[in-house]
Each structure stands twice: as C-alpha cells, then as structure tokens.
C-alpha cells in the first residue's frame, strides 16, 4: 500500500501592479521622504537626490519624475490638499452652520495630532515659500482663500439658522479663525514641547462657542 500523496498548493502570486500603480506608489514614497527631510533640514537644504535615496530609489528618480524640487513640492502640496479635503468631508459631512464650523475645527486638530510629520513638513514648506517656491506660495494663497470662504459660509449659515449671533462678522471671523490655526502651528513648529495642542484646541473650542453661539432666552 503506497502512502497517499500529499496535496500541495502553489502560493498564489499577488497581481502585478500596473504602471500607474507603481508610479503612484513611488510618488507617495518620495513625498514621505521629502517630508521627513524637510522636517530634519528645511526645504532649502533638501535635495532631489536625497529624496530619491531616502525613498529607496535611485538618486536620479525624483529628478527624472518631477524635473525640479519646486515641481515636487508643488505636487506634494496638491496631494496634501486632496487628503485634507477628504478628511474635512469626513468630519463635516452634511452639517451646516455652527455645527459644521466646530466639526472643521475638530478635523484640524485630528490632522495635526495624527499626521504630525506631514503637517510639520507642509507648514515649514508653506512658511518658507514666502521668500521662495513661487508655485507653492501661489497654491497656499489659494488654500487660504478656500479656508476663509468655507468658514465664512458656515458662519453665514449659522446666522441664518439662528445658531450664531447676528452681530458676528463672518468675513472678519473667518480671517481670525485662519490666523489662529496658522499662528498656533507656527508656535508649535518653533517649540513643539511648549505647546499642548490638545489643550489649546479644547480652550479655543470653548471660547469660540461662547463668542459665536446665539443665546436662547
């Protein structure tokens, strides 16, 4: 009697990535590498050669893919904007008015606390773009405008819904809101250990509600 044959199975191979998928993966790795290097050395001391090597590719890949450091940074900001837009939608959902405004504030805090390296790198890039990186500066100006318009829209909705005081100036408050975010992040970048982001956001939410919320008699 012969021993029964042992069934063997050949491990199935994962499907090969398409060219588009491989490009997206290498771009993501280079963006991650660029963000690490920016946090470590700043934008001016970060090179395309270092980005390619840190990402695990050849030193020439980043240069061949993007052509210039400016172009890579611009695409990195665009990628970040898409991620932020998705996160904002997740937090705000169908909310309007005061509820939407407060949800957006929670989204900012969540992004800062859970995507720390990414946020540090992007804000360093944005702040340094004031003196250089013209494409990034132009994209940042467009971001600022979009952020103010979102906040202004929510504030106007809240006034119409009766949840925000009619004495509030939506345009001015939207500027103040963005000044709080960018000013807070600036202080955090300069001295991360001296700024407790969670405590500051908690206090700001409370004070913002006291300022905005319409009091019911």
Compute CA distances 36 → 32, 42, 119, whole Å.
6, 9, 11
Q: What is the pTM of this model?
A: 0.82
Burial of 141 (0-12, 13-18, 19+ CB in 10 A): exposed
| Per-residue pLDDT band at 43 (split at 50, 70, 90) | very high
Q: Nearest-CA neighbor of 51 among 83, 17, 76, 77?
A: 76
* Mean pLDDT for the stretch of residues 192-213: 94
Q: 165: part of which helix (H) or strand (E)? A: none
Reduced to 3 states (helix: H, G, I; strand: E, B; else coil), residue 43 is coil
- 217 pLDDT more than 50: no
Instruction: Give residue for tokens 């103010």.
Output: 148
pLDDT at 121: 94
**Cα separation of 123 and 195, whole Å?**
16
Q: What pLDDT score was predicted for residue 7?
A: 53
Q: 3-state class of 19 per DSSP?
A: helix
Q: Rounded to whole angstroms, how far apart are CA atoms 161 and 190?
A: 40
Q: Write down the pLDDT at residue 13.
A: 67
Check residue 58 and give its pLDDT: 86
Q: How far is CA 150 from the centre of its chain?
A: 16
Position 216 pLDDT exceeds 70: no
CA quadruple 38, 42, 43, 48: dihedral sign: negative
- The position carrying tokens 């540090």 is 120
Residue 123 CA from chain centroid, whole number = 9
| Cα distance between residue 24 and residue 15, in whole Å | 16
For the residues 193-213, what does the mean pLDDT come to?
A: 94
In whole angstroms, give the CA distance from residue 76 to residue 136: 9
- Beta bridge pairs of residue 164: 213
């Amino acid at each position: 009697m012969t021993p029964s044959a042992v069934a063997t199975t050949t491990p199935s191979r994962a499907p090969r990535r398409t060219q588009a998928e491989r490009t997206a993966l290498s771009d993501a790795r280079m963006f991650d590498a660029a963000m690490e290097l920016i946090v470590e050395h700043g934008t001016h001391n970060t090179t395309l050669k270092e980005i390619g090597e840190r990402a695990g590719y050849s030193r020439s890949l980043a240069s061949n893919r993007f052509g210039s450091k400016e172009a890579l940074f611009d695409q990195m900001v665009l990628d970040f904007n898409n991620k932020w837009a998705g996160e904002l939608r997740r937090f705000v959902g169908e909310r309007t008015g005061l509820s939407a405004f407060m949800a957006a504030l929670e989204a900012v805090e969540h992004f800062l606390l859970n995507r720390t390296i990414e946020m540090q790198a992007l804000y360093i890039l944005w702040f340094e773009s004031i003196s250089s990186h013209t494409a990034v500066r132009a994209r940042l100006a467009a971001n600022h405008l979009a952020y103010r318009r979102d906040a202004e829209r929510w504030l106007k909705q809240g006034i119409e819904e009766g949840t925000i005081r009619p004495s509030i100036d939506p345009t001015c408050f939207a500027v103040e809101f963005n000044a709080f975010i960018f000013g807070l992040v600036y202080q955090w970048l300069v001295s991360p250990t001296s700024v407790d982001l969670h405590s500051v956001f908690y206090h700001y939410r409370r004070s913002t509600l006291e300022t905005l919320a319409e009091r019911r008699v």
